[in-house]
Amino acid sequence: MKKLAAGNWKMNGSSAALAELSALIATHPAPACEMLLCPPATLIAQAVYHTRGTALLIGGQDCHAKASGAHTGDISAAMLKDAGAGHVILGHSERRADHSETNVLVKAKAEAALAAELTAIVCLGETEAQRDAGETLALCGSQLHGSIPAGANSANLVIAYEPVWAIGTGRTPTLEQIGEVHAFLRAELVKALGEDGHGVRILYGGSVKPSNAAEIFAVKDVDGALVGGASMKATDFGAIVAALSAA
């Protein structure tokens, strides 16, 4: 299994930020892990052009569940593929919150992604209130089983465990808490997909930065990271890529 360092720029970045891609490629031309950045949709085609022939992969942050049609403002999985994306983040907690995305919708979007031959990065994770109520594993299990698409396998599905309370807050779960959820997700993936479930990458996301990346990557069943803020700067994301390559 090749580990995955993925960056999510969210609604940040302009064409000037593409200079960070060049810097990242220059400092990490051939990392031992996969290296992926998901800029806003407006930058995908430029980013693909900027990174052609390099180890830096480009993905999207969302897609519509339908292949085409009257859905003003939306983008289909096939359009992302056509723009040169190879991956798409789906079911991020910000989309679940801001756009009322349910497991059923996330699953439909993930199925659209697979139909367009994109790798789906399906996000899940508990709120602080859910953790405090002892609901973390039950919630993550229901999000996992409710969101993973038909036809999923270790080549086309990545899971990102992102506790909502750790996103953009500088707070992270303890290494034991991360290990508990990842081990649980691994077991549930094997239940859902059989032996191939062992090969599905499970990323940790939420306040990953150069100073905590190595210890998080040493946790069993952490197969990479989904990085927000620290993915905007080549030096920070490069340090995370280096930590994952060394793990």
Catalytic residue numbers read 92, 162
Q: How far is the CB of 27 from ligand 13P (least distance, A)?
A: 20
208 touches ligand 13P by CB under 6 A: yes
- 3 state DSSP class of 181: helix
Q: How far is the CB of 98 from ligand 13P (least distance, A)?
A: 12
CB 38 within 8 A of CB 6: yes
Residue 168 interacting with ligand 13P (CB under 6 A): yes
CB of 167 to ligand 13P, least distance (A): 4
What's the min distance (Å) between Cβ of 39 and ligand 13P?
Answer: 13
Instruction: Restricting to residues 213-242, name those near ligand 13P by CB under 6 A.
Output: 226-230
- Residue 168 near residue 132 (C-beta atoms within 8 A): no
- Regarding 207 and contact with ligand 13P (CB under 6 A), the answer is yes
- Counting residues that bind ligand 13P (by CB under 6 A) gives 14
Told to check if 119 binds ligand 13P by CB under 6 A, we report no
CA–CA gap between residue 223 and residue 219 (Å, rounded): 9
**Residue 33: DSSP 8-state:** S
- Nearest residue to ligand 13P, using CB? 228
> Quick one: 94 or 188, whose CB is closer to ligand 13P?
94
Burial class from Cβ neighbours inside 10 Å (0-12, 13-18, 19+) for residue 199 reads: middle
Backbone angles phi, psi at 75, to 5 degrees: -130, 130
One-character DSSP codes across 50-63: HHTTSSEEEEES--
* Interface contacts to ligand 13P, rule CB under 6 A: 8, 92, 162, 167-168, 205-208, 226-230
